[in-house]
Every structure is written in C-alpha cells, then in structure tokens.
C-alpha cells in the first residue's frame, strides 16, 4: 500500500466532520472554497467609507492585504491575536487571556471602520470573549462593521485557520497546527448579546454549521 | 552593494544604488530611488524610506516605499508599512498597520523625519555610492 495513501487515510480518519474543512495539513490547491454571503456586505458597507481603517485580528495573510487594499483603498491594522492565544494555550493560562487581548488593542475609541475577527472567538473563554467584544465595540466608529465566524461544534481545536479571501464572496480556509484549545461554542443568542451596542445586520448559518455574522454600530 | 553580517551601523544610511543588508542597522535608512533588501541575516531597527523594500530578515521600524514592500516567508516586520503595493508571504511575521493607496492615487510621502547624528561601528562601511553619515 503506498505510503501516501496511508498518510492521507490517517488524516481523513482523524479529521473533523463540520465547522470547516478537514484539520489535515492539506495544500492550498485541495482546500475547498467557502462561499460567504456576509463578506460581500461587509465590503459593500466599507466601500462607502473614504480610506477606511480596518483591523484584522487573524494571522497576517498577504493576499488579504492586497485584496482589501485594492478594493477599499484602506489602512489595515494587523493584530494577530492568535499569537496571544497560542502563547496562553502553551502556558496553560487561558484564563488570563482577556487582559492581554485588550491591552494589545490600544487604539483611540471610535477609530476603526471595520474589524475582521474571523474565528477568534472560538478560541477564547467566555470572560475573554466578553472583554474583547466590549473593547471592540468601543473601537468601532459609528457606522463601523465587525465580521465574525463562529463554529458550533464542541471540539478541541488543534489548529488555527487562515481565512484567505479569494473573491468578494469566497474564502479559502487553510489550517495550521496549534496547541489544542477547547472551542468556546456560542449559540446565536450568545453571539448577538456579546456585542452590546452593535446591531446584527446579517447572520448566516453555513453548510459546515459555522455561522457568519455581520455587526454594525449604529450611526 | 552589500553590507555584510558582521557590520553594525548606528545612524543614518543614505545612498543612490540598490543595497542588500545582512548586518545590523539602527537609525534611519534612505534609498529613495533604489531597492533595499534586508537579507536573511539582517537585523534592522530603523525607519526605512526606499523605492522598494524586500524583507527576508528582521525589521523593527516603519517602512515607507514609493513602489512596493515585499515581506518574504522568513521575514519579520514590527512597524507600520506605507506603499502602493505590499506583499506578505505566508509564514512571514508582521505586526503593525498597512497603508496602501488606490491605484492611480498619489504616491506616499517619503519625506523622512529629522534624526540625530549617528555613529558607525566597528568600521566604516565600504560604500562607494551608499554612504553612512556617521559621527560619534
């Protein structure tokens, strides 16, 4: 039996069944596209803003920078919160994450037009989630938007995901290994209530059972 | 033009030809009409102003380029980027803000801020066109 088959069978056997593609380390070419109904609305909203200020809380993805730059002529703040998550996961200090997350985002209140959280909240405990959400609400300008992607299946996440925007309505989710972290499963009601002061403009349940949500701060 | 990995420069580095840095620079680097490459061994703590900047090593400081900034997969930047075109490879480290302008827009302003005099150690850099203005 070819070694390649054994390896691929092993990863398929251990792979997840929902909330996104398999956790196996696959190449970009084999990763399926995830259609997004929310991202086009995020982009449409931001396209009305002159030189919007965006904040990306995920691992830096070069093509996203180019994509947002070309589509929106924006300024982007890259704050890879997964680096904080990973360091706390390694140290077993997840409970202390809230303070570090908020401390890292020292910006003027009401200075950001758009926040891309991706699936960050899956990796946080409830206290950290609430603290970070409250801080992000403060950072958003009136009329600003926040994009989140929330898994719904309890699982240990032994990876983080790079969301690579391929088109205004399509992303490729690429996974990289990380210290296992228990997913913080949030039901829709919890998600909506977490961002006090923001309106839910769009909430879409994907085939993978993950939920995309677009929040907007009232003008 | 190369700056080798044993060279440490503290101060302003200006020039009019393409430059590759494998050593350490602290201060300010200006190559307004040229390409600056930070090699894999390069460690820079400086504000950088150039036509194009390629980062394969480490940079702590802001980078302003009139054409492009390219952070390769082993590259690391802690600072703000300003350029019309920016490429960041998977695996690169970046923390800071990115300011890109729409195509056809006005080129970024690359005027440097005032800086203090500088010192160079351990020895003068062999630089026929790129000059390290230095004094201690």
pLDDT in tens, B28-67: 999 999 999 999 999 999 999 999 999 999 999 999 999 9
Q: Determine the Cα–Cα distance for residues A183 and B136; give it in Å rounded to an integer.
A: 56
Look up residue B41 and give its two tokens: 């061994």
Burial class (CB in 10 A: 0-12, 13-18, 19+), A134: middle
Contact yes or no for B97 and A75 at CB 8 A: yes
Between positions 49 and 78 of B, the ones with CB within 8 A of A are 71
E strands of A57-207, at which residues?
75-78, 112-118, 140-150, 156-167, 170-182, 199-205
pLDDT tens digit string along B4-24?
889 999 999 999 999 999 999
Residue A80 contacts B where some CB pair is shorter than 8 Å? yes
Our measurement of the distance from residue A93's CA atom to the centroid of its chain's CA atoms, rounded to an integer in Å, reads 21
- Share of residues in chain B with pLDDT > 90 (%): 65
The more confidently predicted of residues B133 and B77 is B77
- pTM score, two decimals? 0.78
Bridge partners (DSSP) of residue B35 are B52
CA distance A190 to chain B (A): 30
pLDDT band at B136 (very low <50, low <70, confident <90, very high): very low
CA angle A165, A34, A193 (to 5 degrees): 85
User: Are B25 and B9 within 8 A, CB to CB?
Assistant: yes
Q: What is the pLDDT of residue A7?
A: 42
Decide if pLDDT at B114 tops 70: no
DSSP state of A183: -
| pLDDT given at position A20 | 46
Per-residue pLDDT of chain A (219 residues; tens, 9 = 90+): 444 444 444 433 333 334 544 444 444 456 788 999 999 999 999 999 999 999 999 999 989 998 998 889 899 999 999 988 999 989 988 888 888 889 989 899 999 999 999 999 999 988 899 999 999 999 999 999 999 999 888 888 899 999 999 999 999 999 888 998 888 888 888 888 899 999 999 999 988 889 999 999 998
Taking the C-alpha atoms of residue B24 and residue B44, their distance in angstroms, rounded to an integer, is: 6
Residues in a beta bridge with A111: none
Contact between B102 and A73 using a beta-carbon 8 Å cutoff: yes
Instruction: Give the pLDDT mean for B78-106.
Output: 82
pLDDT of residue B127: 44
pLDDT value of position A155: 85
Interatomic CA distance for residues B134 and B124, integer angstroms: 9
Yes or no: say if B23 and B40 are a contact pair by the CB < 8 Å rule: no
Choose among A1, A30, A218: nearest CA to A110.
A218
- What is d(CA A56, CA A75) in angstroms, rounded to the nearest whole number? 11
- Residue keyed to tokens 């970046």: B94
Work out the percent of chain B whose per-residue pLDDT is above 70.
74
With vertex at residue A174, the alpha carbon angle to CA A193 and CA A41, rounded to the nearest 5 degrees, is: 45
CB atoms within 10 A of CB A200: 14
**Chain B CB contacts of A78 below 8 Å:** 94-98
B95 near A CB under 8 A: yes
Q: Residue B121 pLDDT > 50, yes or no?
A: no
- Largest separation between any pair of C-alpha atoms in chain A: 62
**A80-84, B25-29, B109-113: which has the highest mean pLDDT?**
B25-29
């Amino acid at each position: 039996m070819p070694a390649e088959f054994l390896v691929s069978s092993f990863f398929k056997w251990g792979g997840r069944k929902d909330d996104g593609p398999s956790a196996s380390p696959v190449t970009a070419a084999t990763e399926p596209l995830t259609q997004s109904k929310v991202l086009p609305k995020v982009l449409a909203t931001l396209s009305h803003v002159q030189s919007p200020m965006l904040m990306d809380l995920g691992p830096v993805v070069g093509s996203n920078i180019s994509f947002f730059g070309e589509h929106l002529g924006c300024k982007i703040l890259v704050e890879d919160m997964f680096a904080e998550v990973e360091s706390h996961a390694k140290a077993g200090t997840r409970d202390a994450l809230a303070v570090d997350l908020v401390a890292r985002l020292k910006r003027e209140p009401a200075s950001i037009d758009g926040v891309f959280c991706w699936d960050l909240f899956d990796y946080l405990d409830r206290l950290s989630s609430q603290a970070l959400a409250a801080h992000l609400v403060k950072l958003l300008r009136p009329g600003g938007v926040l994009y989140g992607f929330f898994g719904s299946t309890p699982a240990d996440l032994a990876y983080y995901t790079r969301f690579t925007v391929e088109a205004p309505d399509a992303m490729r989710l690429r996974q990289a290994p990380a210290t296992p972290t228990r997913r913080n499963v949030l039901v829709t009601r919890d998600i909506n209530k977490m961002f006090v002061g923001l309106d839910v403009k769009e909430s879409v349940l994907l085939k993978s059972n993950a939920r995309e949500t677009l929040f907007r701060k009232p003008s | 033009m190369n700056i080798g990995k044993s060279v440490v420069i503290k101060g302003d580095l200006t020039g009019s030809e393409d430059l590759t840095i494998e050593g350490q620079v602290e201060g300010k680097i200006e190559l307004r009409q040229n390409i600056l490459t930070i090699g894999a061994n390069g460690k820079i703590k400086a504000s950088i102003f150039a036509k194009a900047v390629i980062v394969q090593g480490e940079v702590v400081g802001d980078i302003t380029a009139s054409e492009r900034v390219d952070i390769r997969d082993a590259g690391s930047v802690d600072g703000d980027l300003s350029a019309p075109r920016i490429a960041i490879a998977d695996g690169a480290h970046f923390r800071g803000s990115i300011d890109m302008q729409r195509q056809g827009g006005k080129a970024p302003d690359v005027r440097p801020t005032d800086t203090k005099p500088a010192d160079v150690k351990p020895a003068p850099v062999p630089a026929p066109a790129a000059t390290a203005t230095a004094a201690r």
